[in-house]
Structure 1
């Protein structure tokens, strides 16, 4: 019976964590140059976080984030850095 109570308490403690982990949104998009061509290997990061990724060979990216207001920082060597 004690083992069951410990397992039950552990389940109750971990359950809110699993619900919080599902509270995310996906931010995705494309990065293109002035000529409209997709730009691969562009760094797309979220300001003041460790979240970030690179664009693929078609200029596409996708990030999983907590809902809210975020600032994107887009950088590529040879181009101006953009904050949006």
Structure 2
């Protein structure tokens, strides 16, 4: 089953660029649907996450922010895939 990974970002954010690379690396070879959302295009997201980007959500649950730990992200994705099997 597909696991949805959402990366909340913003333009000109160095940590966001690094998070995008981590998500791409961890997602490779896994059944994952990755979406990138610029929080500055959504007032509600901006109010909630303004100083926390990047934020990574796995099936809607936050698994990291600022510096994304690839091992933690991989474990979260694998756990969700196992739960859906």
- Relative to the length of structure 1, the TM-score reads 0.24
**Quick check: which has more Rg, 1 or 2?**
1
Higher-RCO chain (CA-CA 8 Å, sequence separation at least 6):
2
- Relative to the length of structure 2, the TM-score reads 0.24
